Amino acid sequence: LYNQVMFGYVRDVLLKQFPRLPDAPLLLGVSGGADSLALLDILVRLRYPLVAAHFNHLLRPEAGEDALAVKRVAAKMRVPLVLGADDVARHAREFHLSIEEAARELRYRFLFEQAEKHKAAAVLVAHNADDQVETVLMHLLRGAGLDGLTGMSLYALPNPWSETIPLIRPVLGIWRSEINAYCLERSLHPLTDATNADTAFFRNRLRHELIPELDACAPGFRRRLHQTADLLAADRALLDDLTAAAWDTVTAEARGDFVTFNRPDFTQQPLALQRRLIRRAVTCLRPDARDADFALVRRALDFISGPTRTRKIDLGLGLRLSIEGETLLLAAWEADLPAADWPQISEAAVLPVPGEAALENGWVLRAEALPDGQGALRTARGNRDPYRAWIDLGDRQPPLKVRPRRPGERFQPLGLGGHSLKVSDFMINKKIPRRARSGWPLVTAGGEIVWIPGHQPAHPFRLTEQTGQVIALRLVRRAGASEAT
Amino acid sequence: LYNQVMFGYVRDVLLKQFPRLPDAPLLLGVSGGADSLALLDILVRLRYPLVAAHFNHLLRPEAGEDALAVKRVAAKMRVPLVLGADDVARHAREFHLSIEEAARELRYRFLFEQAEKHKAAAVLVAHNADDQVETVLMHLLRGAGLDGLTGMSLYALPNPWSETIPLIRPVLGIWRSEINAYCLERSLHPLTDATNADTAFFRNRLRHELIPELDACAPGFRRRLHQTADLLAADRALLDDLTAAAWDTVTAEARGDFVTFNRPDFTQQPLALQRRLIRRAVTCLRPDARDADFALVRRALDFISGPTRTRKIDLGLGLRLSIEGETLLLAAWEADLPAADWPQISEAAVLPVPGEAALENGWVLRAEALPDGQGALRTARGNRDPYRAWIDLGDRQPPLKVRPRRPGERFQPLGLGGHSLKVSDFMINKKIPRRARSGWPLVTAGGEIVWIPGHQPAHPFRLTEQTGQVIALRLVRRAGASEAT
């Protein structure tokens, strides 16, 4: 029975996308868990041309055995299988990602690389209805707008990995219990889904504690939340279309380091679209800062709609927004600014904790102590703002100092495993403009560089699982400072 | 300090609406709790012309004392006070509302009546930021689209109670803890907010158990959910505007009992607007059915986009949808239908529990037993579908029967406190068409009328707090039945 319900659902989803069996294969991500195993079984029964793809995250000792098990299943079903592997933990460290984010990035990259290679008609992944509910709830708890609340989509083209190959989730409407029942009825033997400990901890807590509790409080809540996501997805699709049209209307110029809007056109847009235009501009300039946060967007709109005495503000994320006549200019700090606008320092100064040190041109470095090292570790991992850093002084002695670089001085940027570079080379790599380099402020402790503001902190001062006390550092510009220049 | 933050927030909200002190008074709902007391205090300090209004729900013995306490406070602050009272419990019974819904209806009706009378510039109520979070979460758990997730609005005009007098919530951004701190600092003595037991139970459980738990799991979640509601409110405002414009484009005719859309125009609308157009049409025809549910809207859209062999479907809520050439017709069953379409019966038949009894023209009455009387009581109170009923047979003996009315037969409709009417008069009142009356099916037990399908069940068979076993009844039309006619 479950057999038939689930089978029918998957068949209908795919029939809608492929009215006839495609010539090109479907590339299916197969972890070996119940979801992907059941989907694989159904696709085989439907006679779709297939390539299975298994990705080893190298996070667990038994991951190699999982790959072998998937290999046996694929061989038995006569489905060609490709195997991939990468060091997720290292990728997470290098790019300041959570383990979950890093796993996701590498896994999808692998799937779409293989899809390209096999000229696949689509990439299929086996997220189920419970996954959808967990995703929506996770976004809700962590802060989301409409986009986050729509969860995952059944069909996505374009998607972050391809403009031409769609990503399809053919069991997004099927509950975990139904999939398990399907596996039982079809005598499939799924691998136990050993999720990792880090961010998955949060998802696990949702799955095993919060969702059952919410469901007890309001029976049927999971089904309704799934429906809510479905309703919101249509709303989002419409707003995305409207945003794209509005972008074409209001954008005068969009380059890698700045975006200009026509101000009267911008202010005529409804608030919902003004917010999305700002977020889209921020994403253009800071592709890694996936979420221009609520506060940043509000600051931007308050500034734009406010009295025009102030001509320029610092938005955070290393971005500034200015009004120049009929034009709104959103620019990255690496855009060609007058030298007078850079954070600069000519003589060494102490940076007290807590406290601040004044720089030139209205900039200030602030430091404060945080007792909760592990909380800071999570914040630091999620941070995309180059003007913020969190450090662990360890055994080293205060005070912190701020000073310009010294000739030949070296620096171990976080993410290179302790490898050191010349500060001058680092600044060239990072495109700090030549005229700003010699006066650029460095935060130091005991002679060592702790942080180059605007970039990552130093490897020896990184937060670890053992970190207790943390110092939070921030480079800010005083309100109105730019007015004076 | 709290004093100043809260004071400044309220001042700014009101300054935005009233750049100068208005000549007309603001009408403020004052329960006497911390929220309304703090707001009253601030409005007095800001020297706004005021009328305070206190509504007694007659639900608690101490409610009279609360009114006196509010009277003393208002006198002390030299603010004119109007008092109102109504029997909320009776209103809930009569209109099949929860106590909370009934209280809300009567309270706002009173506030806006008083506002009209005093020519007030606005009605103010003191919902706080925690109330907002609870409202959004409650909607989410009970099932909501974008509208429900926006929660309450800071400023609403038009609103359900007035086209000309705005409803303002000047402390919607202030947390309960801040309001309590304000009361403490200003030496105000709020009444303890004794909420009622019924639906408030759900809100209380949210407030005291779920929200603290969610906040522990994802610290800061309440603030983020508040921001989410704020973001979604702007999205909703835009979609509401688009829906209004689309309605004008696609609607050919809209009357009390039917709505017609131009079909090609309708199908060209994006999904998000198609859904809203259907919901708006349902609201036109069934103003009491506040939420056209997810399933109903999906049934309607599946039908419209599906193969056109089927020309007509039953949507539930006593509504049918048909395709007639280029026209989509959504009609209430009381609209002028051919007689052959009515549920009719010519001879008595047994209605087994569980089981069904066939009527003419493809209609069927279904019955099933539910063990959870109190669960059914909640469902029945929230029910707006005239084709469904829940009854308690009490000591009376099965079987249920279905038969046409008998000459002179009487009926005690639920909501009239046991008062009985002639069935013939009841049918005239309820506008059952003359030619359908004599064959209209009645559900009976032991000779007494239990339910007249399409209307409320009978008073002696109503569910009560003592109800154990319940029988759920439903009038449905077999799929495809209308095709045969």
- Does residue B217 belong to the interface with chain A, where contact is any CB pair within 8 Å? yes
Contact indicator for A423, A410 with CB cutoff of 8 Å: yes
Task: Quote the radius of gyration of chain B (alpha carbons, Å).
Answer: 26
The 10 Å Cβ neighbour count of residue B349 is 17
10 Å CB burial of residue B342 (0-12, 13-18, 19+) is buried
First to last CA, chain B: 74
Q: How confident is the model at residue A309 (pLDDT cuts 50, 70, 90)?
A: low
What are the structure tokens assigned to B221, written together? 């979640």
ipTM above 0.95 for this complex: no
| Exposure of B34 in the CB half-sphere (CA atoms within 13 A) | 21
- CA separation for the pair A212, A222 (Å, rounded): 9
Q: How confident is the model at residue A482 (pLDDT cuts 50, 70, 90)?
A: very low
Residue of A nearest to B215 (CA): A141
pLDDT of residue B484: 34
Q: A143 and B224: CB-CB below 8 Å?
A: yes
The 10 Å Cβ neighbour count of residue B133 is 26
pLDDT of residue A58: 86
pLDDT of residue A483: 38
What are the structure tokens assigned to A5, written together? 């319900």
Query: Kindly report the CA angle at B8 between B2 and B12, in degrees rounded to 5?
Result: 150
- CA separation for the pair B93, B88 (Å, rounded): 9
Given B144, B234, B272, which is nearest A235 (Cβ)? B272
Chain A CB contacts of B217 under 8 Å are 141, 202, 205-206, 209-210
Run of H or E including A65: helix A63-77
Contact indicator for B374, B467 with CB cutoff of 8 Å: yes
- CA separation for the pair A451, A443 (Å, rounded): 5
- CA separation for the pair A120, A115 (Å, rounded): 5
The pairing of beta strand A421-422 with beta strand A355-358: unpaired
pLDDT, greater one: B287 or A155? A155
- CA separation for the pair A451, A306 (Å, rounded): 35
pLDDT of residue A1: 58
Q: Is the pLDDT of residue A80 over 80?
A: yes
* Chain B interface disruption, residue of A140, A201, A302, most B CBs within 10 A: A140
**pLDDT per residue as tens digits for the range A334-349:** 675 555 577 889 889 9
Cα dihedral A341→A343→A346→A350 (10° resolution): 150
pLDDT of residue A361: 82
pLDDT of residue A127: 97
* Chain B interface disruption, residue of A228, A291, A298, most B CBs within 10 A: A228
- Does residue A203 belong to the interface with chain B, where contact is any CB pair within 8 Å? no
**pLDDT per residue as tens digits for the range A218-257:** 899 999 999 999 999 999 999 999 999 999 999 988 877 8
Given B217, B227, B234, which is nearest A272 (Cβ)? B234
Q: A238 and B239: CB-CB below 8 Å?
A: yes
pLDDT of residue B481: 47
**pLDDT per residue as tens digits for the range A273-301:** 999 999 999 988 887 776 668 889 999 99
- Does residue A227 belong to the interface with chain B, where contact is any CB pair within 8 Å? yes
- Does residue B224 belong to the interface with chain A, where contact is any CB pair within 8 Å? yes
The amino acid present at A370, given as its one-letter code, is L
pLDDT of residue A56: 93
- CA separation for the pair A414, A409 (Å, rounded): 16
Q: A224 and B141: CB-CB below 8 Å?
A: yes
- Residue environment code for B425-453, b if the CB has 16+ CB neighbours within 10 A, otherwise e: ebbeeeebeeebbebbbbbbbeeebbbbb
- CA separation for the pair B401, A309 (Å, rounded): 80
Mean pLDDT check: name the lowest of A336-340, A384-388, A429-433.
A336-340
Residue located via tokens 């989803």: A13
Residue of B nearest to A203 (CA): B217
pLDDT of residue B2: 61
- Does residue B227 belong to the interface with chain A, where contact is any CB pair within 8 Å? yes
Closest Cα in chain B, distance from residue A200 (Å)? 13
pLDDT, greater one: A307 or B133? B133
Per the DSSP assignment, residues forming a β-bridge with B55 are: B84
Q: Is the pLDDT of residue A431 over 90?
A: no
Chain A CB contacts of B145 under 8 Å are 228, 231-232, 235
Chain B CB contacts of A143 under 8 Å are 220, 224, 227-228
- Does residue B326 belong to the interface with chain A, where contact is any CB pair within 8 Å? no
- Does residue B214 belong to the interface with chain A, where contact is any CB pair within 8 Å? yes
- Does residue B144 belong to the interface with chain A, where contact is any CB pair within 8 Å? yes
- Does residue B275 belong to the interface with chain A, where contact is any CB pair within 8 Å? yes
pLDDT of residue B376: 82
The 10 Å Cβ neighbour count of residue B215 is 16
Region A61-90: what's the mean pLDDT? Answer: 93
- Does residue A213 belong to the interface with chain B, where contact is any CB pair within 8 Å? yes
Closest Cα in chain B, distance from residue A153 (Å)? 15
- CA separation for the pair B200, B193 (Å, rounded): 12
pLDDT of residue A453: 92
Average pLDDT, chain A: 88
Is-above-0.80 flag for pTM?
no
pLDDT of residue B110: 97
Per-residue pLDDT of chain B (485 residues; tens, 9 = 90+): 567 889 999 999 999 999 899 999 999 999 999 999 999 999 999 999 999 999 999 888 888 899 999 999 999 999 999 999 999 988 888 777 788 888 999 999 999 999 999 999 999 999 999 999 999 999 999 888 999 999 999 999 989 899 999 999 999 999 999 999 999 999 999 998 655 444 557 788 888 888 998 998 889 999 999 999 999 999 999 999 999 999 999 998 887 788 999 999 999 999 999 999 999 999 888 877 766 688 899 999 999 988 766 678 888 888 989 988 888 999 987 675 555 577 889 889 999 999 999 998 888 999 999 888 777 887 887 777 788 899 998 888 778 999 999 988 999 998 877 888 899 889 888 777 777 888 899 999 988 999 999 888 999 999 888 888 899 999 887 755 443 33
